A and B are shown apart, each in its own frame.
Chain A
Amino acid sequence: MAQDSVYQTDALIAEDIDSYLETHQHKTMLRFITCGSVDDGKSTLIGRLLYDSKMIFEDQLDALSADSKKVGTQGQEIDFALLVDGLAAEREQGITIDVAYRFFNTEKRKFIVADCPGHEQYTRNMVTGASTADLAVILVDARKGVLVQTRRHSYLCHLIGIKNIVLAVNKLDLVDYDQATFDAIVAEYTEFAEEIGIESFTALPISGFRGDNITTAPSESTPWYQGPSLVEHLESVEVLSQVAADKPFRMPVQWVNRPNLDFRGFSGLIATGSVKPGDAVRALPSGKTSTVKSIVTYDGDLDEAIAGQSVTITLEDEIDCSRGDVLCVADNPPETADQFEATLVWLNDEDLHVGRAYWLKLGTQTVSATVQQPKHRVDVNTMDELAAKTLSLNDIGVAEVYSDKPLVFESYVENRTLGGFILVDKITNATVAAGMLNFSLRRSQNVHWQASDITRTHHASMKNQTPRVLWFTGLSGSGKSTIANEVEKKLALMNRHTFLLDGDNVRHGLNKDLGFTEADRIENIRRIGEVARLMTDAGLIVLTAFISPFRAERRMVRDMLEGHEFVEIFVDTPLEVAEERDVKGLYKKARAGDLKNFTGIDSPYEAPEKPEITVNTVEMSPEEAANYIIDQILPLK
């Protein structure tokens, strides 16, 4: 095997180790993956790269030769694939199951290559390997051309955001190095790449087994090829961390470093951009701003730190900032939102449960989140968008994701760190999905929290009370409004600051655009919840009187509020009694079919499971019920 100039020569190491080390010390690093269909020769190519760069030692080679003869597929020749297929099951079955990471160096770079499995059933492992890659080498067997697997792998690489795609047309030796075969495959792939949105790729004619166009180009066998060799190409592409350094500064806070009272540092890995002492920064989600005092490391304070570095930052002001928060450049912060559209790759044997709460981890933020019914899933072989009720293992789909707390985020395309997330099952703790945020669903969330100096605590203490939301729920005609009205009158006599929200003052204004479909009823409650929350921020005791028939929506409002602020009051009146009362004549209309979606008649009422307070209107008068409620909620201080 001829040694090529791209690799370290033994001579330099032997003659001048220090100058060799000096060169090696300044190398950059490129992470790439190889993928392709089962017999496209991925492992052979990696074996070849390792062998050529002398990363295979004699004892490993001896073991390899022995194994090659025993279970190899290359006759008497060395089967490089055995070198990378490390698990016993893989060696027995002759397939790659999990990602293997391998390392080699050239004169210019250190490389980490992830060898990814080709089978569709190991899509999750391929996505794992692709998530950290700067580049993907997609192998195609020259005899077979672009296959279904080629399309799937290309789609996955594109989806995960790999910008550098190499189409390596392999096993060219088996088609007599025929240029027309190569050109035809490139033409076919070009058409496909355009279809799925791959902007550019580099095509190379190679033979991993024979070594053509791997380290130098052109090979004698392919005089018609004018481009670089595979290794030369790998040495020249721009790595991800270089691209990230040019973006605005963002650092998810991992750890607050407090060795003593005089030092408070925020530790993290800078995701994008750069930072210097004196820079104005903002902590999200609080929105508080300060100035960078110092960038502290074990090796001394830094004048500047850039994307990809792990640092500890101290600030001029004592601001509230902890793990999960994001430090960013003050005048260009990322968005904060709690509802998103996301692309999901399902990684678990158990299907997605729509509406179930999963842990969502994004950067250093962990929240509880639910996934709505997928808008569609993608057939990874045809790229068709199909209707889907759920997502199963290896499925890729688009769905809305709701989190219980606002997340600081950017779209995945903009920022992998603030746009990529995993979902973790709360019971099994398995990583069930990988997700990529596309955009937030509510533009209003793009408004940054203005950190106000008068806090909700101030508002409440000026009113000398504890804010509460007294949420009355029950059937139409159960007496919610009447009782709520009584309660408010009594609170007013006690000098409490209150406000009553009911159908009359909400439906005629704020929610005048909403009807009575299920979706509109949910939105109606959501808006009421948001208004109630603002009023508690202002220190008020809020009373609401709405049927609010669904547990999930009452739960949603409960989750919007702080600790014990939400007081669910179940106005318990049997349907017969409410229908008998029929104050507004609505039951009669509903029974006659003139009123659709009426709760209790043709739309369900889900009674509270654990209300804070229950009042039975058959046994109590409105006055008695109000007194009982007041007794339960006092002292309100």
Chain B
Amino acid sequence: MTAPLTHLQRLEAEAIHIIREVAAEADKPVMMYSVGKDSAVMLHLAKKAFYPSPPPFPLLHVDTTWKFKDMYALREKAAREAGMDLLVYHNLEAEERGINPFDHGPLHTDMWKTEGLKQALTQYGFDAAFGGARRDEEKSRAKERIFSFRTASHGWDPKNQRAELWNLYNAKKKKGESIRVFPISNWTELDVWQYIQLENIEIVPLYFAAKRPTYEWEGGLFMADDPERLEKVLGTMPEITERSVRFRTLGCFPLTGAVESEAANLSDVIQETLLTTTSERQGRVIDKDAGGAGMEKKKQEGYF
């Protein structure tokens, strides 16, 4: 008799099933690709779901122009290797107004990411968008369905979610409405890391510790990925020091806190993750607005 499936095998099979359901039932699906480790896992699962065909949908990166250089490099490579089209969307208004993480605080996330995402989905007419969010990340995510229905204005109504039974997903919607789909909802941070290790998935080198130019800003430690631009926006050049650092999550470089670390390979990173005493999103500024309900509020407004 065959051995029972391991938890990672079951999670993988579940995610592939979800991705195929969307491809079969949505008119115009798209895969959100943020170049982070969760996106990397999701993309890998999409490749597996349709092998030997390439995934039958494009990748969409809603860019803020403030991502790390390493992320832009991997983005192009990953899309090419998967045989998928890569769409990059910039919110033109944010670009024109020069919205940046230093001068505009929460508006930066709102304009570039929330508004940018809504504009991109509306412009291309995508009716289903895959996202790499997990339920263990944050309290309101823990309550979200795998197929998360959004109104025509992209809002989420947490009190009126569709019942989601067994693995039967209701993908019916009216014109203009859309569905956000989270194939790795049931994965934990450890599962993601272990899967990356087992499947040998390429991730951005920033997840591994290396000597990098860093600066301190408002109590946090950040990487000076583009010092010239930093100086232009800040009006002054912060003091830059070489430190051995890595990142637990990746976003805009001025918003993503670095941690001092010597973990230079996957085993060491996982070890550090397991022994750490703070949660993964702790380095992210976005969850802390509006009391305990920051993410829930953002999602109601249309954030992923």
- A: number of interface residues (CB 8 Å): 86
Taken residue by residue from 238 to 261, chain A's Cβ proximity to chain B (1 for < 8 Å, 0 otherwise) reads as 010110010000000011011100
Q: How far is the CB of B181 from chain A (nearest CB, A)?
A: 14
Tell which of A268, A304, A416 touches B166, judged by Cβ atoms closer than 8 Å. Answer: A416
Q: Is the CB of B139 within 8 A of A86?
A: yes
Chain B residues with Cβ under 8 A from A430's Cβ?
A: 162
Q: Is the CB of B143 within 8 A of A429?
A: no
Q: Is the CB of B194 within 8 A of A429?
A: no
Chain A residues with Cβ under 8 A from B168's Cβ?
A: 361-363, 420-422
Chain A residues with Cβ under 8 A from B270's Cβ?
A: 17, 21
Q: Which of B10-44 contact A (CB under 8 A)?
A: 10-14, 16-17, 20-21, 23-24
Tell which of B1, B186, B197 touches A101, judged by Cβ atoms closer than 8 Å. Answer: B186
- B: number of interface residues (CB 8 Å): 72
Q: How far is the CB of A595 from chain B (nearest CB, A)?
A: 48
**How many angstroms from the CA of A30 to the CA of B109 in the assembled complex?**
37
A448 on the B face (CB < 8 A):
no
**How many angstroms from the CA of A608 to the CA of B259 in the assembled complex?**
75
Q: Which among A126-134, A384-392, A471-479, A533-541 touches the partner chain?
A: A126-134
B52 on the A face (CB < 8 A):
yes
A323 on the B face (CB < 8 A):
yes
Q: Is the CB of B143 within 8 A of A99?
A: yes
Q: Which among B89-97, B111-119, B211-219, B272-280 touches the partner chain?
A: B272-280
**How many angstroms from the CA of A578 to the CA of B264 in the assembled complex?**
94
Nearest-neighbor residue (CB-CB) of B186 within chain A = A112
Q: A86-B139, A102-B142, A259-B52 known; A57 and B278 CB under 8 Å?
A: yes
Q: Is the CB of A98 within 8 A of B20?
A: no
Taken residue by residue from 134 to 158, chain B's Cβ proximity to chain A (1 for < 8 Å, 0 otherwise) reads as 0110111111000000000000001
A10 on the B face (CB < 8 A):
yes
Q: Is the CB of B4 within 8 A of A13?
A: no
Q: A86-B139, A112-B186 known; A306 and B8 CB under 8 Å?
A: no
Q: Is the CB of B267 within 8 A of A17?
A: yes
Q: Is the CB of B172 within 8 A of A359?
A: yes
**Given A63-B292, A269-B167, 18 extra CB contacts under 8 A:** A14-B271, A17-B274, A18-B267, A21-B267, A25-B194, A27-B7, A28-B7, A29-B10, A87-B159, A254-B24, A255-B20, A267-B20, A269-B13, A306-B2, A310-B17, A362-B168, A416-B166, A431-B162
Q: Which 5 A-B pairs have the closest CB atoms?
A: A86-B139, A29-B7, A310-B16, A17-B271, A58-B277
Residues of B within 8 A of A (CB): 1-2, 4-14, 16-17, 20-21, 23-24, 47-54, 135-136, 138-143, 158-159, 161-168, 170, 172-174, 185-186, 188, 190-191, 194, 197-198, 267-268, 270-271, 274-279, 282, 292-293, 296-297
A-B contact pairs, 23 of them (CB 8 A): A87-B158, A88-B292, A97-B159, A98-B143, A98-B158, A100-B143, A101-B185, A103-B188, A128-B164, A132-B167, A259-B53, A267-B50, A269-B13, A296-B51, A298-B48, A299-B48, A310-B12, A310-B20, A364-B21, A420-B168, A421-B168, A422-B163, A429-B173
Residues of A within 8 A of B (CB): 8, 10, 13-14, 17-18, 20-21, 24-29, 55, 57-60, 63, 67, 84, 86-89, 91, 97-103, 105, 109-110, 112, 124-125, 127-128, 131-132, 239, 241-242, 245, 254-255, 257-259, 263, 265, 267-269, 274, 296-299, 304, 306, 308-310, 312, 323, 347, 359, 361-364, 416-417, 420-422, 424, 429-431, 434
